Structure 1
Amino acid sequence: MTKHVIFDFDGTIVESRYLAVELLNELAPKYKLRKIKESEYEHLRSLSIPQRCQAINLPFYKLPILKMDLTKKYRRATASLQAIDGIKEVLGKLKAGGMTLSILSSNSTENINAFLAHNNINFFDYIISSGGLFGKDKAIKSFLTKHRLNNKDVIYVGDECRDICACQKNKVRIIAVTWGYDAEELLAGCHPDALIRNPLELYNIVLNMT
């Protein structure tokens, strides 16, 4: 039976997709990137991370350094960010139903806590930063070990293919959401356990997977 639901943060709980584009464009001169036009956004969502890097002329080896810069700039915009419409209500229902809720994200715990406090979201038992963009599989494994959780006791909710891959490595079930960073067809190609298009679907999907 599912005891624990782990959430990604950016794109899953918080609407930060357009902020990411804005910050990337701010950093474009420093990293000699091609600025992203608004008309390109949906197309970029359908690309893998290496393909996105190529599209904006970002050498893949510079991605970790760029990510650190983005995380630092993110904090100043925390107060203006909004939760995904309907997600707060779903979190409340899951918590009231006895679920333990956590966030595991590549964003910093400082940024996450600032957003949660500003938006009066207080349903989470644990908040963990996985550090780098591609460290989630190790972070999930460490989390399961630390809290003595069987992988069958856990469901992860995320919006990117890298979330799906990290969960598959740990044999953790994952619900992929289409309102975040990666396009629906990209997510479907990674074969999540469930794929949903509306936050209101989440509660019933979690119950059906227990």
Structure 2
Amino acid sequence: MKIAVFDFDGVIVDSYNAILEVINEISRIKKIPSLSKEDILNKSTKELIKDLKIRWFEIPKYYKLAKKVVHLNKDLILLNPQIIEMFQYLNKDKIQLIILSSNSKNLIKDIIQKNLNYISFIEIIGDVSLFKKSKKIKEVMNKYKVNYNDIIYIGDEVRDIIAAKKVSISSIAVLWGKESEALLSKEKPNYIVKNGQELSYILNEFSKKK
């Protein structure tokens, strides 16, 4: 069995505008200037947390707030055209698909049902702590009895690449999400892709590996 684990925000959907609402709300609460689009694209999540003057012990509180604001702005979340293209070329019979995300599981399931109901995901894992994705990936590996050669993680953030490295699996960074190519390249993912067709090619080749 080969498994492709997808991040949700920034990979499957374009949630930039909803995330911007989160950042604006936190900036308002903290009484600081809102961040520019350039700041958001060129800084990791850890760097953004620092810029928003969120202390580490405050992260759970603001994580909960972020999910609430995103839910209120869920109509701003759109299926990414690149992922539609990817599924057109992906050999879905050769690879199992999972979503693993910090976003709300219920919100993810709702968006998938409305926009990608023709795609079968064997599991949707939501509400994952911001910096504990590696633990969840490990749980997936144990649950489905796959080793590190049989699973690959697709994300759009530095923390996604780091999570994959912690459990010794390959990672693919997509360039249509939250963080810039310059930022992602520093963490040296196994692959960087610019469009859905490139992503499907890598996954199709991955599915053929013994």
TM-score, normalised relative to structure 2: 0.89
Report if aligned partners of 1:10, 1:180 keep a CA contact under 8 Å in 2: yes
Matching residue of 1:81: 77
Shift of 1:70: 1.2
Instruction: Give the 3-state SS of the residue equivalent to 1:191 in structure 2.
Output: coil
- Cα distance in 2 for partners of 1:89, 1:78 equals 22
Matching residue of 1:8: 7
Residue type matched to 1:46 in 2?
N
Matching residue of 1:134: 131
Residue type matched to 1:96 in 2?
K
Higher deviation after alignment, 187-196 or 60-69: 60-69
Matching residue of 2:149: 152
Runs of 4+ in 1 over 3 A off after TM superposition: 27-30
- Cα distance in 2 for partners of 1:159, 1:182 equals 6
- Cα distance in 2 for partners of 1:186, 1:112 equals 26
Higher deviation after alignment, 108-117 or 81-90: 81-90
Shift of 1:59: 2.5
Gaps of 5+ in 1: none
Matching residue of 1:44: 40
Residue type matched to 2:19 in 1?
A
Aligned residues: 206
Identity of aligned residues (%): 31
TM-score, normalised relative to structure 1: 0.89
CA displacement 1:66-85 (0-9 Å, x = unmatched): 11111122223334421111
Instruction: Give the 3-state SS of the residue equivalent to 1:174 in structure 2.
Output: strand
- Cα distance in 1 for partners of 2:150, 2:24 equals 41
RMSD: 1.9
- Cα distance in 2 for partners of 1:57, 1:200 equals 39
Report if aligned partners of 1:158, 1:175 keep a CA contact under 8 Å in 2: yes
Shift of 1:189: 0.5
Within a 5 Å distance, the mapping from 1:41-190 to structure 2 comes to 41-94=37-90, 96-123=92-119, 124-129=121-126, 131-190=128-187
